[in-house]
Structure 1
């Protein structure tokens, strides 16, 4: 049987014609929660500001998977990540940054407990993947018993040239099964 838990974190970026300091904070939405395997993410992340044609690179904060299924054999799981498009404005004035312009890498584990083999999806920026489809973020490939792993992923957003300035909102979703 596979277990699924997910948290959504609103990601905010501010695209400006000149430097800016802050964007408003986001919110967290909890989806299905299954007893035994849980995933937590930061409530929201402000990715700061950037110029059209530039990039924004920021860490999202700790993502943590806890598996308390005990001696279930095998006790493995896969955490995945995906993103929506980033949007500003409304109706006919709406502008977007496509999710294929959002890159992600998990980085290594920063904390772990329990046994088993824990494998990052993208250990370094050289293995970064775009989030236009769901991608593997982390996995436990072997072992049983309770375990936990945390990682601090990084995202990079390539800001298109010619888009209007504004606060762009999108969602990066982590899930585990």
Structure 2
């Protein structure tokens, strides 16, 4: 089970994310890939020019309860890509952080997910990010949980 979390840091700009996602099962030493669901940034600051913003993404380690390294998937084993915009309104220049899986980045550190670089007026953009989890050898079977956080400022 994967929990998602949202944080809006700029008044007039909001971000929504799905509540939780189950990526299914994967084999030790294998990879597990799945969609996180739709993420949407809505900017209702009106005619501020320009009304730009940056959405970022970060992750916690994935764990299967207490027990140390045998029950932990580190953040550098979790890769993310935003994909392109799936819906947008209001115009402006919208730039995905990682348009395809070929540009996937690890979530060992906070990454840029999407950005608006130009334009004014109310606007919104939606994208459907995905993650890839490289499951380490030497971990125990179990249900691993982690949190992916999207923020906008």
TM-score, reference length from structure 2:
0.93
1:158 maps to what in 2?
Answer: 134
Distance 2:24 2:67 in 1: 25
Q: Which runs of 4+ in 1 moved over 4 A?
A: 28-34, 91-94
Aligned to 1:61: 37
**C-alpha deviation, 1:104, in angstroms:** 0.4
Higher relative contact order (CA 8 A, sep 6+): 2
1:106 matched residue in structure 2 = 82
Question: 1:115 maps to which residue?
Answer: 91
- Deviation, structure 1 residue 35: 3.6
Residue 73 of structure 1, CA deviation: 1.9
Matches within 5 A, 1:18-167: 35-90=11-66, 95-167=71-143
Task: Indicate how the Cα distance of structure 1 residues 141 and 166 shifts in structure 2: closer, same or farther if over 3 A, else same.
Answer: same
Structure 2: tracts of 5 or more residues without a match: none
Paired residue for 1:176? 152
* Normalised TM-score (structure 1): 0.81
Superposed CA offset, 1:84-141 (max 9, x none): 1001122569610000000000000000000210000000011000001000000000
Q: Is the 8 A contact 1:101 1:130 kept in 2?
A: yes
- Show the counterpart of 1:4: none
RMSD: 1.8
Determine if contact 1:87/1:94 at 8 Å carries over to the other structure.
no
Count of aligned pairs between the two proteins: 153
Structure 1, unmatched stretches of 5+, are 1-9, 12-25
- Structure 1 range deviating more: 91-100 or 49-58: 91-100
